[in-house]
């Protein structure tokens, strides 16, 4: 039987995630697999702000091209790296079980918490979303831009004299580094990125393989991802926009979707919340609430700033 070729980024985290999906395919679908690591534009442009060079799509462009060209049969992505629109001819066919969606504080002084960091502490993050919310919570902090994979960012904690870095809990857990987390930051304090902690399996649209891979989906993960991505699409979010959303199941078969959009300095944050049974409609409703409360003006200003 021919092995299914799985396209993935080549970072340690991406490979760990792809291997996890590959193991499920081999066990549950009785299909052999092989990984096809691909160095994306985003990986090659280390040290440059994603907002300056094209955004999150740089982490998926070459991977999607490999699937479309037939060099790979499917791809595994960190869903938070996916732009609002994926390549024509492809579909997101499975959403495996979600890992912890929260952000993690990793401190140089073990046991530190966000609220106990010293005044003026240097806090590293590569995310405009995290930076905006952290500045709103602790205006005294020096938020330091940070790029690189998880290991590189942890090394910079010491090498660049940072007091702490903020990463995704999910990535640390998947790399076996959960014990390095000093605080799993409550979503009431810092709202996570759209689909953070979720993996997305992508294949050619309307393919038999895509329908087969749908068996890997977790119903709760899929529902939350659809709601959060509907929120993203409605606000036309990209990496220039400090935007966050989290969908959670609540009693009665409903979803609660909380979202926000912020100015980059964190001084203006517009929040929205919606509850409903339909994932996409609920995500869109949370986004619409934000637009109605002034989020449209925040977004317009952010886009003017991005064009300068």
Could you please report the per-residue DSSP string of 67-135?
HHTTS-SEEEEEGGG--SSPPTTEEEEE-PPPPP-SEEEEESSTT--GGGSPTT-EEEES-HHHHHHHH
Q: Give catalytic residue positions.
A: 81
Q: In degrees rounded to 5, what are phi and psi of residue 189? A: -100, -50
Q: Are 17 and 200 in contact (CB under 8 A)?
A: no
Structure tokens of 269? 């944050």
Residue 109: left (phi > 0), alpha (psi -120 to 50), or beta? beta
φ and ψ of 125, to 5 deg: -160, 145
What is the Cα–Cα distance from 193 to 195, expressed in whole angstroms? 6
The alpha carbon dihedral of 160, 166, 172, 177 has a sign of: positive
Q: Residue 281, SS3?
A: helix
Cα 199 to Cα 212: distance, rounded to the nearest angstrom: 17
φ, ψ (nearest 5 deg) of residue 157 = -55, -45
């Amino acid at each position: 039987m021919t092995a299914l070729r799985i396209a993935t980024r080549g970072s340690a985290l991406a490979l760990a995630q792809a291997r996890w999906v590959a193991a499920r395919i081999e066990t549950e679908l009785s299909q052999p697999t092989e990984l096809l690591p691909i160095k994306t534009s985003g990986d090659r442009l280390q040290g440059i702000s994603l907002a300056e060079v094209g955004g999150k799509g740089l982490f998926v462009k070459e991977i999607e091209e490999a699937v479309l060209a037939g060099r790979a049969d499917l791809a595994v992505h960190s869903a938070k790296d996916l732009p609002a629109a994926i390549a024509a001819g492809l579909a997101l066919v499975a959403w495996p079980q979600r890992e912890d969606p929260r952000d993690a504080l990793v401190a140089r002084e073990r046991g530190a918490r966000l609220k106990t960091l010293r005044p003026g502490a240097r806090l590293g993050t590569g995310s405009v979303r995290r930076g905006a919310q952290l500045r709103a919570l602790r205006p005294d902090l020096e938020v330091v831009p940070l790029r690189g994979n998880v290991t590189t960012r942890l090394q910079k904690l010491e090498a660049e004299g940072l007091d702490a870095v903020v990463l995704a809990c999910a990535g640390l857990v998947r790399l076996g580094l959960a014990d390095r987390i000093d605080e799993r930051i409550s979503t009431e304090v810092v709202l996570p990125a759209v689909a953070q902690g979720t993996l997305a399996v992508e294949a050619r649209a309307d393919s038999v393989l895509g329908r087969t891979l749908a068996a890997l989906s977790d119903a709760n993960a899929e529902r939350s991802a659809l709601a959060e991505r509907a929120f993203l699409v409605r606000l036309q979010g990209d990496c220039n926009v400090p935007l966050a959303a989290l969908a959670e199941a609540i009693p009665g078969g409903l979803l609660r979707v909380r979202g926000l959009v912020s100015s980059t300095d964190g001084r203006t944050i517009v929040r929205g919340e919606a509850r409903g049974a339909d994932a996409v409609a609920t995500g869109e409703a949370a986004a619409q609430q934000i637009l109605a409360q002034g989020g449209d003006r925040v977004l317009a200003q952010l886009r003017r700033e991005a064009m300068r």
